[in-house]
Amino acid sequence: MTTTTTTQKKVIGTYGPGSSHWVGDGFPVRNLFPSNGLQLEVSPFLMLDYAGPQYFTPTETRRGVGEHPHRGFETVTIAYQGSVGHRDSAGNAGVIHPGDVQWMTAASGVLHEELHDPAFSKTGGNFEMIQLWVNLPAKDKMSKPRYQGITKEQIPVITLPGGGQIRVIAGEASGAGFATTKGAASTFTPLNLWDVVLKAGEKVELTVPAGHNTAIVLRKGDVTVNGTAKLSGEARISVLSQDGESVTLEAAADSELVLLSGEPINEPVASYGPFVMNTREEIMQAVADLKAGKFGQL
């Protein structure tokens, strides 16, 4: 008989928000990376903004971010409270409500807008979302844009033995006490994106591939990662080593988290505002293409 043992990933750093600012007039965000100097440690992920929680008063004017471009990566928005509408120059449009996910692949380039849904604007209410930027490998940066509007009903849910749950947005979730479950989103490179909710006193061991960069993002609660790193309050992140293939989370209070892991993209990164490419020349080309109208129009 053979036995399988797993090695825990090591916690290499724990951080609070590196910056806080408004994106447009609809997204009050706390940035967890890259403002903390994290880049290689979280590849293929480029940026994580935690928007809210924030109460918005009723208005007839839609708040948010108007028309702007992207090229070379993907934007992923997870809605927890409030609703946001999306429209882009590739002809895609949709509204995400609490529990839904918007996965936009800008790739060769799009113009888009992100505005509070008219119904939410009129009634007002609490707003809470996460936006994540995901890098694309060089071979896919100039591929055709696409859009995945993923409703909460399409996201597989794992009920944990202790009463918590995992929503598998992307990748494949596995761990002690539950069956392996594949996520809803299609990705260009191997990565995991899971919403995790733990009850007070609950402990769970999750399997994450060796070689993946991994991070645990605390939205709110009180959690210990691998018995060493404490995440408490709101908007905190622990970054883990590539070595090892397990992560243990133990909750001292009801907690809401996001697990990110991915195979690193070991290529140069050149970025300028809404463009993420591999060279300065490609950035200059993106600016020229935008001025020439090659990103289309809304």
pLDDT band at 298 (very low <50, low <70, confident <90, very high): confident
Rounded to whole angstroms, the Cα distance separating 145 from 224 reads 39
pLDDT in the model for residue 140: 98
CATH architecture of the region 20-152: Sandwich (2.60)
How large a percentage of the chain has pLDDT more than 90? 94
Q: pLDDT band at 4, cuts 50/70/90?
A: low
Could you give the CA distance from residue 178 to residue 292 in angstroms, rounded to a whole number?
52
pTM of the model: 0.95
Residue 6 tokens, joined: 């797993």
Predicted pLDDT of residue 1: 40
Long-range own/partner contacts, residues 90-96 (CB < 8 A, 24 or more apart): 90/144, 90/145, 90/146, 90/147, 90/296, 92/145, 92/146, 92/147, 92/149, 94/147, 94/149, 96/149
- The rounded distance, in Å, linking the Cα atoms of 144 and 110 is 10
Q: What is the pLDDT of residues 85-109, one digit of tens each?
A: 999 999 999 999 999 999 999 999 9
Q: Give dist(CA 287, CA 298) in Å, integer.
A: 18
- Does 142 have pLDDT greater than 90? yes
Residue 2 pLDDT > 60: no
pLDDT computed for residue 235 by the predictor: 98
Q: What number is the average pLDDT over the span 257-262?
A: 98
